[in-house]
Homo-oligomer: A and B are copies of this chain.
């Protein structure tokens, strides 16, 4: 006999650990530019601002360090990492390889469900910049996961933290939302047509454009 599934009545106490929340807060603040490049991250001050203890702050900083958002100088403590065009170029190059490969792999195996999810993410991109960000993330996650490349997806997400700082400025300066949507629609179309080469080319075109914008912003300064 099939039992009724046990109803999930749990209080849903945040299963997220305090340190994860701290990481997200800090990462968000850095990406949003509330901590400028080179700013010192004073532990005790962060404890007050986040309302957590030093252990949590320190572990969070270690994690952000591995993401390249923070770097610790000996005897000086952590500071917000600087981002120059040399680094951004490398990151775009790596994303070009990884996302291109994932899009090709996804196009090779995409079935109806994958295509529907991509279309849904694309449709969800109407709205505020928060919705755009979430939908974009979802879009790429579907591509990577369906291509069976979870580890590459993790790497790309970590890399994105570093260059997401550019997005804040990009969005503030130019309204790139519409062309971005267009580019992603082209990627989705190539995947819908199960055309790996076209998918890779679309991804690379998208990234080349983004890299160009980043370059103008970072080199112009």
Binding site for B on A (CB under 8 A): 15, 17, 19, 55, 58-59, 62-63, 66-68, 74, 86-87, 90-91, 93-94, 97-98, 101, 148-152, 154-155, 158-159
Contacts and interface: CB of A to CB of B under 8 A. Distances in A.
A151 B15 contact: no
A174 to B, nearest CB: 26
B155 A155 contact: yes
Given A62-B63, A90-B148, A91-B151, 9 more contacts: A63-B66, A66-B158, A68-B151, A86-B148, A87-B151, A90-B152, A93-B152, A94-B98, A94-B155
A16 to B, nearest CB: 9
Mostly, the A contact residues are: helix
Contacts of A62: 19, 59, 62-63
13 contacts: A59-B59, A59-B62, A62-B63, A66-B66, A66-B67, A66-B158, A86-B148, A87-B151, A93-B149, A94-B98, A94-B155, A97-B98, A151-B159
A201 B97 CA distance: 16
B93 A101 contact: yes
A13 to B, nearest CB: 10
Residue of A90, A91, A152 contacting most chain B CB atoms (<10 Å)? A90
A97 B101 CA distance: 9
A82 to B, nearest CB: 14
A183 B152 CA distance: 26
Contacts of A155: 94, 155
